[in-house]
A and B are shown apart, each in its own frame.
Chain A
Amino acid sequence: MAETTTTPEKGPPVAALPFIFLGDQFLYIITDLGRMGIFLFSALFGIFRHPFRFRELLKQLNFIGAGSLAVIFFTALSSGMVLGLQGYYSLHKFGAEGMLGSAVSLTLIMELGPILTALMVTGRAGSAMCAEIGIMRISEQIDALECMAIDPFRYLISPKFLAALISVPLLTAVFDIVGILGGYLAGVGLMGVNSGSFLSGMQQSVTNHDIRLGLIKSVVFGLLLVWICSGRGYFVQQIRGAGFGAESVSKVTTQAVVLSSISVLIFDYLLTAVLL
């Protein structure tokens, strides 16, 4: 920006500098939360705005959902198998191997499924989403949309929100099924746990409430990751310390993935505490 007329002003006293710094940081955080809040409402509102971009929704479902299937499959299979082995090792000490099916399925449905799915989708699709929107911002493509009187939320952001809200719970369901299969393979196939006791233990212990809790978590995590990743990209030029150009996009993408992952873990605790 320009540097034409500089207004010289006497600086504040040195003793006041820490307070000025803290106040400045506080104001920045409040401003950032405010604009992210407005971003969330605009994106959710954009889902209901006409004309709906159905083709873009399909494209995003393919990218976020179908594109993440392989990652989810292998993560779920390995997590389930590890859970099966670890569970067997612990339960064997108490002669309670029959509880393996129950332990594996409950852990996957209520905790690991939603969390690991959200983390995998954040790493694979969330980072790409943030970088794409960030690049569109710095190359003035979002400004171009606004100048053509096209709402960037309806056109660009809202289809990603809806796709994430649909994809993440479905991917979580896939994760749960594949994870339980992995636990079954490790427990029954490798460690010799009785197949009937594994399956009946699972059937008896998993309730609708547990499945509902996992589902609610997956929807909330899906919303969190798409909100944080696309929001950080959208405001790439307003994020303090991000720098400019390509550097700012790379820094903000890293920040979005970290922030999204931490938020998922924090919200996991909060939801468990409230809904369990």
Chain B
Amino acid sequence: MSPSTSKKVPEIAIEFDRVSKSFGQRNKKHRVLNDISFTIPRGLTTVIAGGSGQGKSVTLKLILGLLYPDNGRILVDGINVPSLNKRELLKLRTRFGVLFQGSALFDSLTVFENIALPLRERTKMSEDEIRVNVLATLDQLELTGHEDKFPAQLSGGMKKRVGLARAIQLEPEIVLFDEPTTGLDPVMTREIYQLFDTMQKKLGYTAVIVSHDIPGVFAIADQIILLNKGEVDVFGDINEIVHSEKPYIREFAEMTMGDLFARPEKEKCH
């Protein structure tokens, strides 16, 4: 239930305190999160994993204040998100960067304009400064030369890179990734996770990745939060999951991570 204790205890960036969330009407109520509590450490990568419909994306929306919990507290740097008014919520969101499942790029804007959008709307930078910033980010994410393309002209992997570029433009303290590798092939998935890891280490933000792509995402996780039937289990690393005594976690590990252990053997053959 607890993260590995051998490391120095990091500062808490996000805390869920006895949070519950249900959907549906009175007689058809589905409880997605059931009185869950966990913390997300600052400056590290936390993976929120679990099967489909276990409340992973709901967790992200609760952090952002896009959904409200039925009860419980969601603290971001000690601020209780559900208690904020619209203005305070907008202010809090300036500390976040979000990479959406479908990248959520604006179809009518070019790659450059998409990445420049938060700078144009939220800062007083001149167009020259914006250009320098955006081109530097494009270079970091190996997107140079694609700045004049529209999202429809990009591959899935490139869209994710552009989405990440836009998410980190304002140097957020926390970056949330919602199923970031959906629709990508395994090679591209691995590349994208490596890129996330590199950028996180370089910029030092707190990364929260929601994913069901278990083997790939666990490679870059500092902490793993497993959601299952409204309950939550927190692990320091993959070994804690594998050696868990809870039957459903062992089952989850067998079903999702067999591939992880098989892959290095296959790679050795090449």
Contacts and interface: CB of A to CB of B under 8 A. Distances in A.
Interface string A115-154: 0000000000000000000011001110110111111000
A74 B160 CA distance: 46
Contacts of A5: 30-31, 34, 229-230
A6 B34 CA distance: 12
A143 B100 contact: yes
A11 interface: yes
Contact of A146 (B28, B53, B55, B66): B66
Given A147-B96, A149-B122, A6 B32 contact: no
A9 B30 contact: no
Contacts of B91: 149
A7 B121 contact: no
Given A140-B100, A144-B104, A148-B117, A4 B53 contact: yes
A203 B155 CA distance: 63
Contacts, number: 86
A7 B229 contact: no
Contact of A1 (B32, B94, B98, B117): B32
B101 interface: yes
Contact of B53 (A2, A9, A155): A2
Residue among A7, A136, A149 facing the most chain B CB atoms (10 A cut-off): A149
Nearest to B170: A148
A1 B30 contact: yes
A146 B27 contact: no
Contacts of A141: 104-107
Interface residues of B, number: 37
A3 interface: yes
Given A4-B53, A4-B55, A155-B121, A144 B100 contact: yes
A149 B94 contact: yes
B101 to A, nearest CB: 7
Interface string B128-162: 00000000000000000000000000000000000
A251 to B, nearest CB: 21
A150 B118 contact: yes
A147 B229 contact: no
A3 B117 contact: no
B106 A6 contact: no
Interface in B31-57: 31-32, 34, 53-55
Interface of B: 22-23, 26-32, 34, 53-55, 58, 64, 66, 90-91, 93-94, 96, 98, 100-102, 104-107, 117-118, 121-122, 166, 170, 229-230
12 contacts: A1-B53, A4-B53, A4-B54, A6-B30, A140-B102, A141-B106, A141-B107, A143-B100, A144-B100, A148-B118, A148-B121, A150-B118
Interface of A: 1-7, 9, 11-12, 135-136, 139-141, 143-144, 146-151, 155
Given A2-B54, A4-B30, A141-B104, 16 more contacts: A2-B30, A2-B53, A5-B230, A6-B28, A9-B27, A140-B100, A141-B106, A141-B107, A143-B66, A144-B104, A146-B64, A146-B66, A148-B93, A148-B122, A148-B166, A150-B118
